[in-house]
Structure 1
Amino acid sequence: MLPKIQNAHWIFRVPEFGKIQITYAVLFTFILGLFISSSGNLLYSQGLLFLMFVHHGITLVKYTPLYPVKKHTQKHQSSQKLHFISANVYQFNKEYNRFISLIEKYSPEMFLTMESNGDWEQAMRILEKDYPFQHKVTLENTYGMHFYSKIKIKNAQTHYFVADDIPSIEVHLKTEDGFSFVFFGVHPPPPSPTEEETSKERDGDLLSTAKRVKDIKDPVIVVGDFNNVAWSKSSILFRKTSHLIDPRIGHSFVSTFHAKYRLLRFPIDLMFHSEDIFIKALKTLENFGSDHLPVYCEFFIDHHNDGQEDQIEAATSEEKAEAEEMIQEGKKEDGDRDEVVTED
């Protein structure tokens, strides 16, 4: 119930991440109660557990195949199929060759790395012969970001929406068959007892990206380690403010963190896209030594298919005002981060 309290402190925001695990725990406890001798107090407890299960289930069912969404087929006027990999590599992960082998195995047209510092940049130079177009933001504070592409980059820029050490990247590309699109990479700081005390910077950064995306006319993809879950209030505000679509709805959670603990894995590496982009596949790939699993996406662009228009939700005037307030709060927040972070 803590996430229902709209307070930015991590105590209230972190429990949002565990909704899947909490729902399983509620269901398990409810089933266990069926085997206990009935009493008045037990009936009240069972009733509360049932209501909690329904409450969580209504939210989570949207991110399963049980939730109906339209299926789309690729037509001749669409772009060729395109692929990308997004990966939080974990700055202190030294298994560079495992990641390089992953890229060589799947050979996506583009890939994004987060937490990539100078050592990671040096290790990935071997891939530059296959990925001649790059946009690099090399930092040692666990917020470095690198984008590599086989598709020509028309222009690229780095945004620092709420803090001068938290970058987001905006890359404009054009495929050989003439389709232009924009790729955003994001990695805001998480609310947690070991990092940021509140979610203000995270939410401000994401909603600033949403405002920027809304003004772009080309098809858009926003991807990265959001340090957020799709059902949180700020994620929903992001989706409505940006007029983008969450491809997990009607498909699967695509949980990525923590890579080593399957039962404690949360879907915090998110993706959103505009209505002209159609997702063919979205899944996690094998672990390469990071604490996040990489995300793999296959998609195509089709300007003539309006089948996804009904999935766009626009923010109300009250939600727009709330989003603007969260952006301003994020800019005011003074995150206490070191320029160079070392592993504990």
Structure 2
Amino acid sequence: MWGIYLFLIALLVLLTILPKIQHSHWIFRVPEFGKIQITYAVLITFILGLLIAEPQHLWYSQGLLLLLFVHHGVTLIKYTPLYPVKKHQQKHQSSEKLHFISANVYQFNKEYNRFIQLIEKYQPEVFLTMESNGDWENAMKVLEKDYPFHHKVTLENTYGMHFYSKLEIKSAQTHYFVADDIPSIEVHLKTKDGFSFVFFGVHPPPPSPTEEETSKERDGDLLSAAKRIKDIKEPVIVVGDFNNVAWSKSSILFRKTSHLIDPRIGHSFVSTFHAKYRLLRFPIDLMFHSEDIFIKELKTLENFGSDHLPVYCEFFIDHHNDEQEDQVEEANSEEKAEAEEMIQEGKEEDGERDAIVTEG
């Protein structure tokens, strides 16, 4: 028991230290995803220590576990209702309530009808799919009678992206910030009650042993999007499979560079991946918004066969409400220089994706 206890402590210390090392290799970046699970493991290991007949130096190791728990807890508490944020009220100058669904459908998922039924059930004004290829595009054609406006980027490399809307699309464009096979979309919309806003969809590649060796393309793509978003004068929502967590350095740089707000702060994690394994579920499908977008509800919906749970959001637009201004943080000169360096590294990185992928 004592040997297992010491091994767990060593492992937890290692998983805590690795993300602190600012190296782009996946070995250093992947442990960031599991901060929630690591914190639970620290607590369980501490309880295990209480059950051990007291050997010499036990309380030193228990004290170390307490330090680890506090270290992770200081970050994670920001993404719970325990963290105080200013509550806002919807005022008469605001838009009607709007809704979107964002879903990484998993390209090899063939349960098209389950996703179509999900859209028909919740009837969002707009929805975004990622990993949607030609087969998914054909399957979703039945929704076009209700969603006459769309912007489609059909790819067979697991980075396809489709946007459907009941609202009028004023303009739409596809960006390829760091690689010609990794799209982001920018869609300018107008609501039925006359409010304009921009919907930005992103899906950069993850650092992992099975995909990209480093986080360079992911971080470069996200920070390139952030620079573009900062120059948009209309209300903005950014949604997608970020393959990142909100507390990582690159996510914080994204938020500060784009001048956007993270709606998870003071509310909940909204964990989405992996859909089938609750205990190994990470909050990597993120959302950020400008200060004149107000979130009423942000949550996951039921699984439709993908490895990601879909994200559902209810929001409204209010140009006259300044209650969220103090939540906007801006990058300082050092952070701006770091973001530029990450963008350049992302453009120089040579991703190892095939033009057409196959299952397995």
Give TM class, smaller chain: over 0.9
Q: Distance in 1 between matches of 2:56 and 2:190?
A: 66
Name which of 228, 234, 237 aligns with 2:253. Answer: 237
Amino acid at match of 2:179: A
Matched, 1:58 2:85: no
Instruction: Note the 1:53-92 alignment, pairs <5 A.
Output: 53-92=69-108
Instruction: Note the 1:24-39 alignment, pairs <5 A.
Output: 24-39=40-55
Name which of 244, 255, 269 aligns with 1:228. Answer: 244
- The offset of 1:34, in angstroms, is 1.5
Q: Distance in 1 between matches of 2:103 and 2:298?
A: 13
- Indicate the residue corresponding to 1:2 in structure 2: 18
- The offset of 1:39, in angstroms, is 3.2
- Indicate the residue corresponding to 1:17 in structure 2: 33
Task: Determine helix, strand or coil for the equivalent of 1:40.
Answer: coil
- The offset of 1:14, in angstroms, is 0.3
Share of identical aligned residues, percent?
88
Q: Distance in 2 between matches of 1:41 and 1:333?
A: 47
Q: Distance in 2 between matches of 1:116 and 1:92?
A: 9
- Indicate the residue corresponding to 2:344 in structure 1: 328
Amino acid at match of 1:92: F
Q: Distance in 2 between matches of 1:98 and 1:104?
A: 10
Query: Deviation digits for residues 117-169 of structure 1, max 9, x if unmatched?
Result: 00000000000000000000000000000000000000000000000000000
Q: Distance in 1 between matches of 2:305 and 2:206?
A: 21
Task: Determine helix, strand or coil for the equivalent of 1:228.
Answer: coil
What stretches of structure 1 of length at least 5 have no aligned partner?
none
- Indicate the residue corresponding to 1:260 in structure 2: 276
Q: Distance in 2 between matches of 1:42 and 1:3?
A: 27
Q: Distance in 2 between matches of 1:9 and 1:343?
A: 25
Q: Distance in 1 between matches of 2:51 and 2:277?
A: 30
Q: Distance in 2 between matches of 1:205 and 1:35?
A: 48
Q: Distance in 2 between matches of 1:341 and 1:81?
A: 39
Amino acid at match of 1:98: R
Query: Deviation digits for residues 286-333 of structure 1, max 9, x if unmatched?
Result: 000000000000000000000000000000100000000000000000
> TM-score, normalised to structure 1's length?
0.99
Q: Distance in 2 between matches of 1:78 and 1:305?
A: 9
Task: Determine helix, strand or coil for the equivalent of 2:57.
Answer: helix
- Indicate the residue corresponding to 1:121 in structure 2: 137
Q: Distance in 1 between matches of 2:257 and 2:43?
A: 34
Amino acid at match of 1:85: I
Name which of 160, 175, 187 aligns with 2:191. Answer: 175
Q: Distance in 2 between matches of 1:86 and 1:242?
A: 20
Amino acid at match of 1:151: L
Task: Determine helix, strand or coil for the equivalent of 1:23.
Answer: helix
Name which of 316, 320, 333 aligns with 1:300. Answer: 316
Instruction: Note the 1:52-201 alignment, pairs <5 A.
Output: 52-201=68-217
Amino acid at match of 1:333: E
Amino acid at match of 1:298: E
Aligned length: 344
Amino acid at match of 1:274: S
- The offset of 1:32, in angstroms, is 1.6
Q: Distance in 1 between matches of 2:36 and 2:291?
A: 28
Task: Determine helix, strand or coil for the equivalent of 1:158.
Answer: strand
Matched, 1:277 2:293: yes
- The offset of 1:37, in angstroms, is 2.3
Task: Determine helix, strand or coil for the equivalent of 1:324.
Answer: helix
Which of structure 1's runs of 4+ aligned residues deviate more than 4 A? none
Q: Distance in 2 between matches of 1:258 and 1:41?
A: 39
> TM-score, normalised to structure 2's length?
0.95
Q: Distance in 2 between matches of 1:212 and 1:44?
A: 50
- Indicate the residue corresponding to 1:342 in structure 2: 358
- The offset of 1:35, in angstroms, is 2.1
- Indicate the residue corresponding to 2:63 in structure 1: 47
- The offset of 1:41, in angstroms, is 2.1
Q: Distance in 2 between matches of 1:58 and 1:255?
A: 19
Query: Deviation digits for residues 177-234 of structure 1, max 9, x if unmatched?
Result: 1110000000000000000000000000000000000000000000000000000000
